[in-house]
Amino acid sequence: MSFLIQTQQLTKYYSNGKVKALHELDLEVKEGEVFGYIGPNGAGKTTTIRLLLDLIRPTKGTAKIFGLDINQKSVIIKRDLGFLPGEIYLQENITGKQCINYFAGFKKEKADKKYLKHLLDRFGLDIDKKIKDYSKGNKQKLAIVLAFMHKPRLLILDEPTSGLDPLNQQEFYSLIKSVKADGATVLLSTHLLFEAEKVCDRVGIIKDGKLLAIEKIDDFREKNIRIINLEVGETIPLESLKSIKGIRKVTRTTTGYNLVSSGKNGQVIKELARFGADDFKINEPSLEDIFLHFYK
């Protein structure tokens, strides 16, 4: 099996070592997989990506992309890599088309015109407009097109769906699936759990600059953390709720209880009904809930 990205003890401290943005990261991304890099704001995702792109240099540690050192061979690496930055800065006074032509010059392969048209149609992007007249979402779409248009072997995408409306988000997910089917490898950072569950094969969970776990997405899904809001006043004793298998935490609210459950919900729901709870809401957890209950 070959790894397209390998990092060893990759570390970045800012402000004379006061900010430990990334600490001794050991990460391997396999050829052909979609790897999700999940973490809350400030976790170190962008720092990792900027290191991989050789936009900043590590405090210590090394990394390889395509088996090549990221600092010594960054020019060669970038010829077969598609990159979507978290913050997009494009020259404002040119059209989308001029921008595409400009970026086309940097890559190994010329962008296939048919594929480019396919990408533009997918996202309904008008490239005759000047970039300064693009909305935030349209700038994001243009940046996606720039990252994908050469059919790169590896895509590194920092929060790729930020600024996209739900329809275009879905379009983006289907694009990821189709490039994966064509053999591309993807590393994408996100703080959205459903996004990772939708497109990733494996996820790395990062917080405070440390990689806490790497999970296959199916194992991650099996944890199936849910937040259940019960509106029952205090008719059910707290201890009874705590005793239900699959319930990890119970807290009182003004109108009832908040329960954190994990695993299969069927038994939990049966037990709740047995205790007389006939009205409840089941919600997706936040990233913080997941960290709190699994990766403390």
Chain contacts with ligand ATP (rule: CB under 6 A): 14-15, 19, 21, 39, 41-47, 86, 191
CB nearer to ligand ATP: give 42 or 276.
Answer: 42
CB nearer to ligand ATP: give 17 or 266.
Answer: 17
Three-class secondary structure of residue 155 per DSSP: strand
Q: Shortest Cβ distance from residue 90 to ligand ATP (Å)?
A: 19
Structure tokens at 50: 């900027």
CB nearer to ligand ATP: give 45 or 150.
Answer: 45
Q: Shortest Cβ distance from residue 95 to ligand ATP (Å)?
A: 29
Q: Shortest Cβ distance from residue 17 to ligand ATP (Å)?
A: 11
Backbone angles phi, psi at 33, to 5 degrees: -100, 160
132 DSSP 8-state letter: G
CB nearer to ligand ATP: give 44 or 152.
Answer: 44
Q: Shortest Cβ distance from residue 187 to ligand ATP (Å)?
A: 13
Q: Shortest Cβ distance from residue 147 to ligand ATP (Å)?
A: 17
Which residue in 26, 77, 53 sits closest to 214, CA to CA?
Answer: 26
Structure tokens at 187: 């590393």
From residue 32, how far is each of 5, 21, 106, 183 by CA, in Å?
A: 11, 28, 24, 5
- Distance of alpha carbon 88 from alpha carbon 136, whole angstroms: 10
Q: Shortest Cβ distance from residue 67 to ligand ATP (Å)?
A: 25
CB nearer to ligand ATP: give 48 or 262.
Answer: 48
Q: Shortest Cβ distance from residue 16 to ligand ATP (Å)?
A: 10
Structure tokens at 263: 């695993």
Which residue in 221, 218, 184 sits closest to 201, CA to CA?
Answer: 218
DSSP element (H, E) containing 196: helix 193-199
CB nearer to ligand ATP: give 41 or 93.
Answer: 41
Q: How many CB atoms lie within 10 A of CB 96?
A: 24
Contact 8, 65 (CB under 8 A): no
Distance of CA 221 to the CA centre of its chain: 15
Q: Shortest Cβ distance from residue 223 to ligand ATP (Å)?
A: 22
- Distance of alpha carbon 110 from alpha carbon 89, whole angstroms: 23
Torsion of the alpha carbons at 100, 101, 105 and 108, rounded to the nearest 10: 60
CB nearer to ligand ATP: give 46 or 140.
Answer: 46
Three-class secondary structure of residue 75 per DSSP: helix
CB nearer to ligand ATP: give 156 or 228.
Answer: 156
